[in-house]
Amino acid sequence: MKQKFKNFLNEKLKLKIIISSSIVGFLFLFSFLMVVPGLGIESKKFINSIEKQIKIIMPKGMYVIDGQDVVYEQVMNTAIKSAYTSDALSTINYYEDSNYAVKKEDYINFSNEWFEKRWGDDIRNQRDVDLYELGMDLIKFDQAVATKFLSYGYVHAGIQWMFKNGGLKEIFSSQFYEQAKRDQTIINQETYDSWMKYEGPGLNGIKVEKSLGTMIVNNKVWFLNRQIENIKFGLNILGHSIFKNKELNENNMSKTKVTFDELSYPFFTETLKVLRTGIIIFFIFLGIVLPIYTAFLTIWIINLKKGNK
């Protein structure tokens, strides 16, 4: 009878261990899954939608700049180079940023360094340049600009951002929340475009003078449409086409306009709320749940061993 009672208690303890371990494991997994994606998953969906548009606008092998063309070097060092500077500068809010002049210089320097590293050797060796490759590189460039000048959290996993120096402070910052809210906002595209002051396209490319900044969907629609205009310009530079395929013209262009509904909407603020909640649960788990569970588990295991004697 006594042995049966011991066996009953042992089975009860085992059941407690199994149930409590399952609950604790679920809580950890739940918080972990909330923390891991972060804003990076929204950016990834947005980037994928941009990549899709680039593949339509400038399909691989279609718009190839002739490395032997008489204006090749000039076009690369002005029009193509300006794709990077205009992309970067268009993300600064000229109308509200008091540090615009300082930021502008930093953004231009970063853009020029990136361009030289990626295309400098190609230009010196007069290699053909496929605009598809340019488009893919501009996506990488966008991510680098976001990481350096906007926020590490935009293009990295939540768990990476969380453990980065200053990451937690930024995640729970009300200022960053407002920034994310603005960045995800979409306004009428014509209104956005009307606030953009720029020159080009032309032999000097596109030069941004004033920008409304990173309402990122509107901003990328503006930028992609400027690249379409650049392609049109490239079809007739000083009376000839810069592209190897001389049969290309505006009538056989793959796409002539991008609209904001063709890009993925980034749910930054909602994702940020999920990330914040996940982090709170994660630290409650580490600071409260796990120590209490460990203490009880230790006691249960000791009692289980005693019961088996």
**pLDDT band, very low/low/confident/very high, at 175 (cuts 50, 70, 90):** very high
**Cα–Cα dist 101/105, whole Å:** 7
pLDDT of residue 5: 45
Residues 8-47: tens digit of each pLDDT: 556 676 777 788 788 888 888 888 899 999 999 999 999 9
pLDDT of residue 26: 86
DSSP letter (8 states) at residue 207 = E
Residues 76-124: tens digit of each pLDDT: 999 999 999 999 999 999 998 888 999 999 999 999 999 999 999 999 9
Nearest to 208 by CA among 186, 223, 188: 223
Answer yes or no: are the C-beta atoms of 107 and 86 closer than 8 Å.
no
The CA-CA-CA angle for residues 185, 189, 191, to 5°, reads 95
DSSP string, 63-89: SEE-TTSTTHHHHIIIIIHHHHHHHHH
pTM for the full predicted model: 0.87
Give me the helix-helix angle, 39-57 and 216-234, nearest 10°. 20
Return the residue matching tokens 């066996």: 7
Residues 215-242: tens digit of each pLDDT: 999 999 999 999 999 999 999 887 889 9
Torsion of CA 84, 88, 89, 95, to 10 degrees: 160
**Cα–Cα dist 184/186, whole Å:** 7
**Cα–Cα dist 264/280, whole Å:** 29
For 50, list phi and psi in degrees, rounded to 5: -70, -45
Residues whose CB is less than 8 angstroms from the CB of residue 132 and which lie 6 or more positions away in sequence, other chains included? 54, 55, 58, 59, 60, 61, 62, 63
